[in-house]
Amino acid sequence: MSGLTRFGVSLEKGLLEKWDGLLRKKGYSNRSEALRDLIRAELVKKEWASKNEVVGAITLIYDHHKRELVNMLTNLQHDFTGLIFASQHIHIDHHNCMEIIAVKGAPHKIEELSDKMRGTKGVKYGALSMATTGRDLE
Ligand code: NI
């Protein structure tokens, strides 16, 4: 971490109390660490709004017995090979599967793949976790 800078923040008392309560619930040991996380989250949001390279994870839950579903999801992954750098398939129970697909690339391409997968008929749940390469964060 490059040199630390201290600065003062003025807040309404009630707002600060609410924030401190939230930090306790979340397990933060101090306000600085919580504020760093807030700032990082905003910076990651900005990264996803740009054309820079980002990373993320697409999580899908589906019933592998559904006809054509597995084929369609596999075909999509083959259409976006440049974007996918790892994936994991977990058999949850007799019917349900979880697939976690790690992606790296342009935000709009990742969102396109995520939307197509989540929109595939038979997918019960889909989520895109927007992360960062970490290069521009401290
Ligand atoms: Ni499975």
Specify the pTM.
Answer: 0.83
Q: How far apart are CA 103 and CA 89, in angstroms?
A: 15
Distance 70 CA to ligand 1 centre (A): 10
CA of 64 to the centre of ligand 1 (A): 6
Label residue 1 by pLDDT band (50, 70, 90).
low
Residue 87's pLDDT is 95
pLDDT average, residue stretch 20-24: 94
Q: The tokens of 71 are what? A: 């084929």
Cα–ligand 1 centroid distance for 73 (angstroms): 13
Rounded distance from Cα 79 to ligand 1 centre (Å)? 21
- pLDDT, tens digit, 9 for 90 and up, residues 44-57: 999 999 888 999 99
CA of 94 to the centre of ligand 1 (A): 8
> Ligand 1 centroid vs 96 CA: distance in angstroms?
6
Give the Å distance between the CA of 63 and the centre of ligand 1: 8
Distance 35 CA to ligand 1 centre (A): 40
pLDDT at 122: 92
Hey, how many other C-beta atoms are within 10 angstroms of the C-beta on 113? 21
Torsion of CA 42, 12, 28, 43, to 10 degrees: 10
Rg value, the chain, Cα: 20
Q: Under CATH, domain 54-131 is a member of which superfamily? A: ACT-like. Chain A, domain 2 (3.30.70.1150)
pLDDT higher than threshold 90 for residue 3: no
Model confidence over 56-97: pLDDT tens digits? 999 999 999 988 999 999 999 999 999 999 999 999 999 999
Domain ranges of the chain: 13-49, 54-131
Q: In angstroms, what is the span from residue 136 Cα to ligand 1's centroid?
A: 36
